[in-house]
Amino acid sequence: MTMKIAALLAALTLGSSLTAPALAQQAASPAPSTVGTRQSAEARADALVRAMTLEEKLQLVHGYFPPLAKPVPPIAMIPSAGHIPGIPRLGIPTLRESDASLGVANQIEQRKGDVATALPASIATAATFNPKLAYEGGAMIGAEARAKTFNVLLAGGVNLTRDPWNGRNFEYLGEDPLLAGVMVGEHIKGVQSNHIVSTIKHFALNSQETGRTVLDARIGMAELRESDLLAFQLGIESGKPASVMCAYNKLNGDYACENDWLLNKVLKQDWAYKGWVMSDWGAVHSTEKAAINGLDQDSGQELDDAMFFDTKFAEAVKAGRIPMACLDDMVRRILFGVIDSGLMDDPVPESAQPIDYARHAEVAQRAAEEGIVLLKNQGDLLPLARTAKKIVLIGAHADVGVLSGGGSSQVRSVGGAPVEIPLTKGAAASFARITWHASSPLKAIQALAPGATVTYLDGSDAKAAAAAAKGADMAIVFAWAWRTEAQDPESMALPDDQDALIDAVAGANRKTLVVVEAGGPVLMPWVSRVPAILQAWYPGQRGGEAIANILFGKVAPSGRLPITFPVAVSQAPRPEPLGLAELHAADARRDAGDKTVYGMSGGVASFPVDYPEGADVGYRWYAAKNRKPLFPFGFGLTYTAFRYANLKVSDGAGLTVAFDVTNSGKREGADVPQLYVEAKSAAGTRAYRLAGFEKVRLAPGETRRVSMTVDPRIIARFENDAPGGHTAGWVVDAGTYPVRVGHFAGDAALAGTARLDRVTIKP
C-alpha cells in the first residue's frame, strides 16, 4: 500500500475524477430459475452471467477503496481494503474485503476499537512445518472475518524469500516451494472452510519492497515455474483459492496485472484455474490490455493512477475494444469463485457476531509455540529450572508486549497495542506504525516462576543492563528488528546499538539468552559469545506466553528455519535491495518540493531486478555457491534428540522414501525429518531439493516409521514450449537421483539412491 492514503489523496487532488459510467440501460433478465446448489459452480455462474445486464456485469469488475471512494450514488462501506457492491436481485453478495493472513487487519486503527486475534507472522507458521497449524490459523481468522461481516480475506501470501532482507518476508512462508505451497494451501483451505473467499498472492515475483510498483523482475520462465510459480501451483491445487491477487511489479517487461503469459497462459490455461484474478491495490496500469491479458477485477480503484476499470472500461466495452466475451469471462470467474467458496449459498451475517477470543487466542499460541526456533543451546542452558531465583529481562518492551510486522497485514490485537510508534518518513509512513501486541513476556515468565525475582530493564543503558544481569540465574536480552510492507531495511543489523547491548550483557553473565523478535534473519555478530538463542519471529498476541512456555520446557521447541540465515549479507544473492538509488533520487525530489512525486510509484523510476539464481533459491543458492550460512534452512534444536534409521527407497515410476525416527533422548518432543532429493533444474544446475517433511511427536524411546511420497514436479525440470510442436511441461529424466534424509538442508543422516523412469507431466 505504498503511500496509500497520504500520497494517493494527493493524486486524486491532482486531477483524477470519479465519473459515473454513462451506459445505455439494458433490460434485466429474471434471476435464473436454474440456480440451485446441485448444479456445478460453472453452470450456475454461466446462468447468472446470462441473466445479467451490462451495468450489472460492469459493476463487478472494479472495487472501491473505502478510505478514498466517493461512489455515485453513495453506498455504506466498512473502512477496510475494499468493497464491491453486490446485486441483490440475483443473490450476488456485496464483497467486503479485508487483509489478511495474520488475522483480520485494522491498520492504523481505521475502525476504532475493532480488535481481532493476531496470529504469529506467517514465517513463524511456516517454521512450525506443521500444515495442520496453517489450516487452524486460516480457519480461525476466516471465522473472525465472517463474524465481522467480511467475506473476502486477502490472505495467502506465498512469494518465496529470495532475499533475506525483504521487508515482507514475515508475511510469507519461506524460501522453499514445497513447504510454502503446502502451508499456503492449508491456510487457504482453513479460511475458505468458513464459506468466504481467500486470495493467494502476490502473483508473481514481488520479491522486494523497494520500488515494488515500478520494478521489472527478470527471470527465466522455466526457472520461475520451478520455484515461485511452483509454490503458487501447489497452493492453488490444494487450497483452491477463489481468487488470485496479481502483484505490483513487472515480470519480464510487463506488469504482473497485465501479463498475458502469467495470467492467461500459466494460470488460466496451463493450470486451468477457474477463479478470478484481482489486482493488488493500485497495481493496474491499463484498461484493454489488462482485461484482455487476464485481469478480471481492479481492486481499490481509487489507488490507480487513473480508474481503468470504471468509466474507461465501460467505454471500451461499448466501443468493442473489449469484447463482450471477455467481460463475460471476467464476470463468470468472479461468480465461480463466489459460488465455489460457498459464499453465495451461505452469505455472511448482516451485522457483527460475537467471537470466542479466548479460544482463538489458543490457536495463536499453539502456532507461536511450534514456530519458535531454538537456534543455539550450549551447555543445555535451556530449559530453565522453575527453581531459578533471579531472572533479568532486557529490552524490546518485554515488560508489556511482543513486536509485530507492519503494513496492510497489521492486526489490532485483542488487548490493544501497549506500544505504538508512528513513522516519520518512508513509503510505509502513511499506513504503518511500529506496533507491539499486548502479550507480556515479563508477566508470562513471572507466572511460571513464582518463586523468582523477575526484573525488566529497557536496555537503553548497556552498562546498567550488564550490572543487573550479573549474578542472575539467567539474563534474557529481547532483541528486535521491525520489518514492514512497502519498505526494505537498508541493513540487516539490529537497530539501536542492540549488538553492543548483547555484548555487554553476555560479558557480565555467561548464562545469557537472546530472544530475537524479527521478521526474518538478522546479523548476529555476537553469535559465538552467547550460549543460547531463540528465534521468536513476530510471535503474535500470545507470543509472551509461548516464549515463557519454551523457556521453562513446558513446551519443547519444535520450529525449524523456513529460510537460510546468512553469516553476512554478502553471502546472499543480492546484498541489498536494488533500486535504492532510484528511491533516494525520488525522495530528494520530493524533499525539494517536486509536486510530480506522488502516487503508487512514489516518483521512483523503473529499474530491473535480475534473478540470475533462477530456481536455486535460498539453501540451493548457498549449496551451489558453496557458502556455509550461519544457520541452514530446516534447522532447529530441541530438548531431546532424534535418530533416523532403516532407509528404504521405493523407486521406478514414482518415488517413496521410508525410514524410522526415534526419540533417543529423555524428554518428549517433536521432530521434523526432512527428505532431500538431488535433481537437475532447467538451467542445468543440480541441487538437493526439499521433497518431503513431516512433524513427528514422540515420547522418549519411541520409534515411528515415516513414509514420504514425492510429488514428481518437485524433482522435475520444467521444459518451455519449443519450436516444432513440442509443448511445455515437467520432465523427470530417467536416471539416478541421490536421496538424503536429514535434520536440515545439507545434512545427510541417511543417504541412498533412487532410480527413476522418465515421467512427463502437464505444465
Binding-site ranges for ligand BGC (CB under 6 A): 1, 81, 99-100, 154, 201, 280-281, 408
Residue 408 Cβ vs ligand BGC, minimum distance, rounded to whole Å: 4
Sign of the CA dihedral 634, 638, 641, 642?
negative
Nearest distance in Å: CB 44, ligand BGC: 28
Integer Cα distance of 190 and 136 in angstroms: 6
C-beta of 32 vs 82, nearer to ligand BGC = 82
Residue 139: φ, ψ to 5°: -65, -40
To which H or E segment does residue 504 belong? helix 498-508
The backbone region for 439, taken as left when phi is positive above 0, alpha when psi lies in -120 to 50, beta otherwise, is beta
CB of 654 to ligand BGC, least distance (A): 37
Q: List Cβ neighbours of 725 (8 Å cut-off, separation of 6 or more).
A: none
Shortest distance (Å) from residue 280 CB to ligand BGC = 5
Residue 102 or 291: which CB sits closer to ligand BGC? 102
Residue 610 in 3-state DSSP? strand
Q: Toward ligand BGC, which CB reaches closer, 10 or 630?
A: 10
Residue with Cβ nearer ligand BGC (165 or 281): 281
243/365 with CB nearer ligand BGC: 243
Nearer to ligand BGC, 302 or 678 (CB): 302
What DSSP designation does 628 have? -
Q: CB nearer to ligand BGC: give 408 or 663.
A: 408
Tell me how far CA of residue 662 lies from CA of 374, 649, 740, in angstroms: 20, 19, 17
Q: Provide, rounded to whole angstroms, the least separation between the CB of residue 226 and ligand BGC.
A: 25
- The runs of H, that is alpha helices, within 252-398 are 260, 288-292, 311-318, 324-340, 357-371
Q: Any idea what DSSP says for residue 5?
A: T
CA distance 536 to 254: 38
Shortest distance in whole angstroms from residue 1 CB to ligand BGC? 3
- Rounded distance, CA 233 to CA 709, Å? 18
The residue (of 108 and 306) whose beta carbon lies closer to ligand BGC is 108
What minimum distance in Å lies between the beta carbon of 65 and ligand BGC? Answer: 8
Q: How far is the CB of 348 from ligand BGC (least distance, A)?
A: 19
139 Ramachandran zone, left/alpha/beta (phi>0; psi -120 to 50): alpha
C-alpha cell of 565?
A: 540465515
**Helix, strand, or coil here: 414?**
coil
Matching residue, cell 440451485: 36
Taking the C-alpha atoms of residue 530 and residue 547, their distance in angstroms, rounded to an integer, is 18
Neighbouring CB atoms inside 10 A of 72's CB total: 9
Beta carbon nearer to ligand BGC, 126 or 154: 154
- Least separation in angstroms between residue 488's CB and ligand BGC is 14
Q: How far is the CB of 545 from ligand BGC (least distance, A)?
A: 29
Query: Chain-centre distance of CA 58, in angstroms?
Result: 31
Name the residue nearer to ligand BGC (CB basis): 370 or 488. 488
Beta bridge partners of 737: 754
